[in-house]
Structure 1
Amino acid sequence: MSTPRKAARRSAIRIVSAPADRPADDEIWPRVTRELADDLAVDAPARDRAGKAPFDEVARLQEAGLPALLTAPGANPRGADWRAASAIVREISAADSSIGELLAHHYVLSWSSRFFGPAREAGATTALDACTAEERWLLAGGVEPPLTGTDPGLVLTPAEDGWILDGRRTFASGVTVADRLVVGARPGGTGDWLIVLVDPAHPGVFTDAGTDRVGQRLAGAGTVTFDHVPVPAAHVLGVLPHDEHTVTPFATLAPLALRLLLVQVGLGIAEGALAEARDISRAGQAGPVPAPPARNGRTAATTDPVGTGDDPYLLLAYGELATAAHAASAVVERATDALVRGLLAGPELSPEERADIAVLVSAAETLTGRAAVHITTRVLELVDGAEGADARSGGPGFDRFWRNARALTAHTRPAHRLRDIGDHYLNGTHARLTLPA
Structure 2
Amino acid sequence: MPTPSSPAATESAEEQRHAVLRAAHDVADDLAADAIARDQAGLPPMDEKARLCEAGLLAALTPPGPGRGVDWLTGCAVIRAVATADSSVGAVLARHYVHTWSGRFYTSHHQAAALEEESRRKQWLWTGAVRTPGPDEDTHAADLTLWPRNTGYLLNGCRSVDTAVTVADQIVLDAVCAVTGDILVVRIPRGARGVTVEPAHGRLGQRVAGAGKVVLDGVTVTPGQLLGRRPYDEESAAPFTALAETALRLALCHVASGIVEGALSEARDLSRGGHAHRLPRADPDLLLTYGELASAAQTATAVVHRATAVMARALDTGSQLDAEEPASVAALVATAENVTSKAALDITARVLELADAPGLDRFWRNARELTAHQPVMRRLRSIGEHYLNGSHRAVAAAFH
Match of 1:38, as an amino acid? D
Q: Tell me the secondary structure at the aligned position of residue 160 of structure 1.
A: coil
Percent of aligned pairs sharing the same letter: 46
Task: Work out the CA distance in 2 between the residues paired with 1:313 and 1:84.
Answer: 38
Give the number of equivalent residue pairs: 384
Gap regions ≥5 residues in structure 1: 1-20, 290-306, 390-394
Describe the superposition over 1:36-60 as per-residue Cα deviations: whole angstroms up to 9, x where unpaired. 0000000000000000111000010
Structure 1 range deviating more: 179-188 or 314-323: 179-188
Deviation at 1:203, TM superposition (A): 3.0
Task: Work out the CA distance in 1 between the residues paired with 2:241 and 2:366.
Answer: 30
Describe the superposition over 1:176-235 as per-residue Cα deviations: whole angstroms up to 9, x where unpaired. 110121111111076322111212312310000001100001111100100001111111
Task: Work out the CA distance in 1 between the residues paired with 2:196 and 2:221.
Answer: 16
Native 8 Å contact 1:205 1:227 kept in 2: yes
1:77-92 matched pairs, under 5 angstroms = 81-92=71-82
Tell me: CA distance 1:409–1:272, structure 2 relative to 1, closer, same or farther (3 Å). same
Native 8 Å contact 1:141 1:183 kept in 2: yes
Task: Work out the CA distance in 1 between the residues paired with 2:370 and 2:398.
Answer: 17
- 1:64 and 2:55 are equivalent in the alignment: yes
1:33-432 matched pairs, under 5 angstroms = 33-69=24-60, 70-71=62-63, 74-75=66-67, 81-117=71-107, 119=108, 121=109, 125-144=112-131, 149=138, 152-188=142-178, 191-242=181-232, 244-284=234-274, 308-384=280-356, 389=357, 395=358, 397-432=359-394
Gap regions ≥5 residues in structure 2: 1-11
Q: Tell me the secondary structure at the aligned position of residue 190 of structure 2.
A: coil
Native 8 Å contact 1:22 1:74 kept in 2: no
Describe the superposition over 1:254-285 as per-residue Cα deviations: whole angstroms up to 9, x where unpaired. 11110001000001001000000000001118
Task: Work out the CA distance in 1 between the residues paired with 2:286 and 2:195.
Answer: 53
Tell me: CA distance 1:227–1:88, structure 2 relative to 1, closer, same or farther (3 Å). same
Q: Tell me the secondary structure at the aligned position of residue 183 of structure 1.
A: strand
Match of 2:239, as an amino acid? P
Task: Work out the CA distance in 2 between the residues paired with 1:249 and 1:195.
Answer: 17
Deviation at 1:246, TM superposition (A): 3.2
Tell me: CA distance 1:103–1:189, structure 2 relative to 1, closer, same or farther (3 Å). farther
TM-score scaled by structure 1? 0.82
Structure 1 range deviating more: 145-154 or 98-107: 145-154
Task: Work out the CA distance in 1 between the residues paired with 2:276 and 2:147.
Answer: 69
TM-score scaled by structure 2? 0.90
Native 8 Å contact 1:71 1:133 kept in 2: no
Match of 1:338, as an amino acid? V
Which protein has the larger Cα radius of gyration, Structure 1 or Structure 2? Answer: 1
Match of 1:116, as an amino acid? Y
Match of 1:127, as an amino acid? A
Deviation at 1:436, TM superposition (A): 8.5
Give the superposed CA RMSD: 2.5
